[in-house]
């Protein structure tokens, strides 16, 4: 049974933390960090060649986490694998005891560190969810019978600051139809964004984990505003970072405050913390958030 | 139209390292329209090759370089030159090059890179609009092709990567799905986006593809 699913279904405020596999064969640092999360997170969400950069695979890291008694979320994008490889990955994940799966389109190879790679996109995020759902029924996408089938608590992503938002909502509903039971959002910084998004999605029967990326500096905030689709850090937060003697600490504080406010106002079912290379700070964010 | 572009001259010279006597072929259709294989281009290339010490024995611009019979007819007209030549350089699309290559016994080298099936936006300006996916979805997408114009060929709507309506892969390109959404809104057909589109069946478009209408009485809907 997925702990993440149980937590969400019981109405607990769920916490997941994102962790990337290493670029290389040395998993020790990543696993040490994962152990510091302990039981303070419901699941550790392992990226699948995040930002199209080559790393060890998500599944290997998920297996290593399971061996440590931690619960992973396996991310699968459509970028690198066709439907044979995606379904195969899911069967392998089922064998290893992975209980949660997050389906993503995947960034295009040209934005990554092997930009000449052939993009696949045989299945889009909706197709990946469909594949997981059909495998759970005991057959593959072509209807061939399986010897044992995997069953995942399925998730997907959504960008609350997307313009036009209607287009995100239409796709979100398709993802729900295809089997998504929870969503994690692109990083949010403005409580008003989630107030609006909550209102727009109140008719949907799903769970929403708000994406939290702790800011490390005013420069990082400005860079993300300029370059990362769907991210909007308000000026007053940039000023706080600029005026701080310890912007990393300030960023952790900002993240903690946002989580507290989201929780108090009941604007989501949990949070998904993406520390992008500063995962050791995740317990500090949880301290700030009182989690 | 098939959009093509001349290869760098150095690359063409590389093919011709051991060839002195050359015949050039072009194409009267697409490559002429793209300024990559019409008569004017062949005249200019002939001069450049001669400057590089090559002999250009003849050049022809077949009406359509991808038409086997037309190419055969035109090659016959310069048979003597071909018999004497060491190599042919074809300034057509990749199809046109192969149509020439299968009819002669000397090496045929490509003078062009074939880029895409495109639309002529205006003279000299081309954009990719169709990837010949074999299973047209335009009826569901307001006449805008997501297979071609979305860098990920997504079928169920956009990824999260658009910024101010532009694509993450090339910010000069509009996000196809935002265009589709705006168009369907105009047409009052946004409902077409709500249904899940199943993954494409690539077994239907395993290449090389062929089409033979000779025994079926034509290509029209029966």
Interface residues on A facing B, Cβ-Cβ cutoff 8 A: 78-79, 83, 105-108, 110-111, 119, 121-127, 130, 141, 157-159, 162-164, 166-168, 170-171, 173-174, 177-178, 186, 227, 229-230
**E strand residue ranges, chain B:** 2-6, 21-25, 55-60, 87-90, 108-110, 112-122, 125-130
Question: Of the candidates B136, B97, B131, which has an alpha carbon nearest to the alpha carbon of residue B207?
Answer: B131
Question: Of the candidates A123, A124, A102, which has an alpha carbon nearest to the alpha carbon of residue A182?
Answer: A102
Record the tokens describing residue B50, joined without a space: 């001669």
The pLDDT of residue B204 = 87
Question: Architecture of domain A3-216+267-279 in CATH?
Answer: Alpha-Beta Barrel (3.20)
Q: What is the DSSP letter of B163?
A: B
Question: Of the candidates B58, B20, B22, B55, which has an alpha carbon nearest to the alpha carbon of residue B39?
Answer: B58
**Could you give the domains of chain B?**
2-115 (3.40.50.2300), 133-198 (no CATH)
Mean pLDDT, chain B cut into blocks of 10 residues (222 residues total) = 97 98 98 97 98 98 96 97 98 98 98 96 93 95 97 96 91 96 97 96 91 76 65
Rounded to the nearest angstrom, the gap between the alpha carbon of residue A102 and the centroid of all alpha carbons in its chain is 7
Q: For A124, phi and psi rounded to 5 degrees?
A: -90, -175
The residues in B 140-169 lying below 8 A from A, measured between CB atoms, are 151-165, 168-169
The pLDDT of residue A262 = 98
Out of B152, B163, B196, the one facing A178 most closely (by C-beta) is B196
How many angstroms separate the CA atoms of B33 and B31, rounded? 5
**E strand residue ranges, B62-179:** 87-90, 108-110, 112-122, 125-130
- Name the average pLDDT for chain A: 97
Q: Domain spans of chain A?
A: 3-216+267-279
Summarize the confidence of residues A203-220 as an average pLDDT. Answer: 97
ipTM here = 0.94
What does each C-alpha distance from A262 to A126, A269, B82 come to in angstroms? Answer: 28, 9, 78
Q: Does the bond joining A164 to the residue before it have cis omega, within 30 degrees of 0? A: yes
CB contact under 8 A, A171 and B158: yes
Question: Of the candidates A225, A221, A290, which has an alpha carbon nearest to the alpha carbon of residue A262?
Answer: A290
Which DSSP string do the residues of chain A spell out, in sequence order?
--HHHHHHHTT--EEEEEEPPPSSS--HHHHHHHHHHGGGSSEEEE-SSGGG---S-HHHHHHHHHHTTPPEEEEEESSS--HHHHHHHHHHHHHHT--EEEEE----GGGSSSTTSPP--SS-HHHHHHHHHHHHTTB-TT--B-SS----EEEEEE-TT-SSHHHHHHHHHHHHHTT--EEEEEE---HHHHHHHHHHTTTS--EEEEEE-----HHHHHHHHHHSTT----HHHHHHHHT-S-HHHHHHHHHHHHHHHHHHTT--SEEEE--TT-GGGHHHHHHHHT-
The pLDDT of residue B205 = 87
Q: Are strands B112-122 and A72-77 parallel, antiparallel or unpaired?
A: unpaired
The pLDDT of residue B222 = 62
Question: Of the candidates B98, B74, B101, B77, which has an alpha carbon nearest to the alpha carbon of residue B87?
Answer: B101
Contact list, B153 vs chain A (CB under 8 Å): 121
Out of B154, B163, B165, the one facing A105 most closely (by C-beta) is B154
CB contact under 8 A, A110 and B154: no
Tally A–B CB contacts below 8 A: 90
Helix (H) or strand (E) holding B81: helix B79-84
CB contact under 8 A, A119 and B151: yes
The pLDDT of residue B217 = 65
CB contact under 8 A, A105 and B178: no
CB contact under 8 A, B152 and A186: no
The pLDDT of residue A50 = 95
């Amino acid at each position: 049974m997925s702990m993440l699913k149980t937590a969400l279904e019981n109405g607990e405020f769920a916490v997941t933390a994102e962790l990337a596999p290493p670029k290389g064969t040395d998993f020790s640092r990543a696993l040490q960090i994962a152990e510091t999360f302990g039981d303070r997170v419901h699941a550790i969400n392992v990226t699948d060649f995040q930002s199209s950069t080559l790393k060890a695979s998500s599944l290997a890291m998920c297996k290593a986490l399971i061996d440590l008694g931690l619960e992973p979320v396996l991310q699968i994008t459509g970028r690198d694998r066709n439907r044979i490889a995606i379904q195969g990955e899911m069967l392998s994940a089922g064998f290893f005891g992975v209980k949660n799966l997050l389906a993503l389109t995947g960034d295009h190879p040209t934005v990554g560190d092997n930009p000449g790679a052939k993009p696949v996109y045989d299945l889009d995020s909706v197709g990946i969810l469909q594949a997981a759902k059909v495998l759970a029924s005991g057959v593959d996408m072509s209807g061939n019978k399986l010897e044992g089938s995997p069953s995942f608590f399925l998730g997907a992503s959504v960008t609350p600051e997307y313009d036009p938002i209607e287009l995100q909502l239409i796709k979100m509903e398709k993802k729900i139809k295809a089997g998504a039971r929870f969503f994690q959002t692109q990083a949010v910084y403005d409580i008003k964004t989630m107030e609006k998004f909550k209102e727009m999605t109140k008719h949907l029967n799903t769970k929403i984990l708000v994406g939290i990326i702790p800011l490390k500096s005013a420069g990082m905030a400005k860079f993300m505003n300029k370059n990362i689709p769907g991210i909007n850090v308000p000026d007053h937060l940039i000023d706080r970072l600029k005026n701080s003697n310890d912007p990393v600490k300030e960023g952790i504080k900002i993240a903690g405050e946002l989580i507290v406010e989201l929780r108090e106002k009941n604007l989501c079912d949990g949070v998904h913390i993406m520390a992008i290379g500063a995962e050791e700070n995740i317990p500090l964010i949880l301290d700030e958030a009182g989690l | 139209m098939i959009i093509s572009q001349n290869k760098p001259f150095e690359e063409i010279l590389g093919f011709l390292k051991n060839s002195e006597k050359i015949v050039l072929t072009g194409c009267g259709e697409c490559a002429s329209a793209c300024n990559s294989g019409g008569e004017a281009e062949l005249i200019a290339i002939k001069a450049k090759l001669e400057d590089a010490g090559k002999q250009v024995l003849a050049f022809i611009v077949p009406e359509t370089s991808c038409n086997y019979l037309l190419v055969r007819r035109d090659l016959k007209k310069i048979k003597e030159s071909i018999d004497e030549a060491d190599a042919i350089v074809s300034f057509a699309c990749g199809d046109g090059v192969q149509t020439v290559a299968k009819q002669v016994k000397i090496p045929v080298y490509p003078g062009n890179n074939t880029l895409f099936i495109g639309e002529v936006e205006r003279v000299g300006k081309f954009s990719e609009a169709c990837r010949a996916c074999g299973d047209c979805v335009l009826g569901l997408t307001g006449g805008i092709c997501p297979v071609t114009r979305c860098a990920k060929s997504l079928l169920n709507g956009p990824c999260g990567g658009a910024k101010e309506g532009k694509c993450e892969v090339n910010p000069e390109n509009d996000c196809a799905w935002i265009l589709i959404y705006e168009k369907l809104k105009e047409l009052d057909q946004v409902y077409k986006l709500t249904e899940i589109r199943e993954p494409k069946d690539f077994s239907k478009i395993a290449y090389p593809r062929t089409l033979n209408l000779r025994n079926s009485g034509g290509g029209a809907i029966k």
